[in-house]
Amino acid sequence: MQFKKLIFLFLIHFSSVLVGQNPNDFAFVLSERAVNKVFTAVGEINGKSQYEVLGIIEGHYKWKILNPKISFKPDSSDFTCDAKVEVGPFGYKSQVLGHVKIGYDNTLNLISIKITDAVFELYTVVLGKKIHIKNIHLEDYFKDPFLFEGPKSFATDMSFTMPDSTLKQIYVQPSDCVMKVVKQAIKTTCDIVVQDKPFKKEIKVTPPIQTEDKKKGTVKK
């Protein structure tokens, strides 16, 4: 399954005081709650097929994921869900833990959130013995990352009426933005530059501290 590009404007949080010796003018915050709302809107993720093991046992299986959630953490963001599986008359649930890769494309001004290494086992039981069928790699069902607009979207302009009744145009854009993953959010703190002429130069944004989690060793089919 591939998803269409999801463009979602940052939730803007104006901060009067920010922690640190060099306070910024404002902060953008993309919360995990907002990301999971998008995830919920995607709908049910499921699969089904035929199986054969030992050359003599065959049948049909189906599965679906329940309670999917992406969690942001400073050291290692993750994806969790429950997999409900039915293999013939046999059924069970498995807890799935996957990793999340977070990146920022400065040119396109997009934050990407991609699920990786989310695997659960498909098996059946015959005469009290567990028999492995295959591993289901959920990351294969999330080939396209979730994409959200970055801090450059805040650039704007405004008009002021001067004492002589003329209009003066003021231009505002983020500058010196620093992105990092914190608990339950991706946070971008920025200064702003204000001038009375349109900006020509491109904004430089520091990439997130968390760019990629280490992958666990798994063997795909």
Q: What does the DSSP assignment read for the chain?
A: --------PPEEE--SS-SSSS--SEEEEEEHHHHHHHHHHH---EEEEEEEETTTEEEEEEEEEEEEEEE--SS--EEEEEEEEEETTEEEEEEEEEEEEEEEETTTTEEEEEEE--EEEEEEEETTEEEEEEEEEGGGG--SPEEEE-GGGG-EEEEEE-TTS-EEEEEEEEEEEEEEEETTEEEEEEEEEEESS---SPPPEEPPS---PPPP-----
- Is residue 170 situated within a structural domain? no
d(C-alpha 208, C-alpha 161), whole Å: 40
- Is residue 182 situated within a structural domain? no
- Is residue 115 situated within a structural domain? yes
- Is residue 23 situated within a structural domain? yes
At residue 204, the pLDDT reads 56
First-last CA distance in the chain: 18
- Is residue 178 situated within a structural domain? no
Q: How many domains does the chain have?
A: 1
**Alpha-carbon distance values, 119 to 43, 86, 129, 136, 192 (Å):** 19, 16, 22, 6, 43
- Is residue 128 situated within a structural domain? yes
At residue 71, the pLDDT reads 96
- Is residue 176 situated within a structural domain? no
- Is residue 202 situated within a structural domain? no
Which residues does the chain have with pLDDT short of 50? Answer: 1-21, 209, 211-221
d(C-alpha 46, C-alpha 82), whole Å: 12
Domain that holds residue 95: 11-154
